[in-house]
């Protein structure tokens, strides 16, 4: 079972990090931080920043995210 979610990727214009629902995007000197609204937002983030689509992520259970248990 997945207890928490941690992701990191280098992109063409910076990098992206995810810790549970918290996302940080670094683009040069600009930093953007936000929370994923739901699993569909995680799926879209994977497509946009990690370069792959993973439909099963919409069923992902993460105990440290109460709404995703």
What are the structure tokens assigned to 43, written together? 């799926």
Determine which helix (DSSP H) or strand (DSSP E) holds 43, and give its type and residue range: helix 39-45
Q: Per-residue confidence at 45, pLDDT binned at 50, 70, 90?
A: very high
Per-residue pLDDT, 3: 83
How many CB atoms neighbour CB 20 within 10 A? 15
Q: What is the mean pLDDT of residues 18-38?
A: 96
What are the structure tokens assigned to 56, written together? 């099963």
Do the beta carbons of residue 20 and residue 64 sit within 8 Å?
Answer: yes
Do the beta carbons of residue 58 and residue 68 sit within 8 Å?
Answer: no
């Amino acid at each position: 079972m997945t207890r928490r979610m941690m992701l990191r990727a280098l992109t063409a214009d910076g990098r992206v990090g995810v810790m549970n629902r918290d996302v940080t995007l670094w683009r040069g000197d600009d930093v953007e931080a936000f929370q994923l609204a739901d699993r569909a937002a995680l799926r879209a983030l994977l497509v946009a920043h990690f370069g792959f689509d993973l439909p099963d992520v919409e069923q992902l259970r993460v105990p440290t995210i109460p709404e995703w248990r």
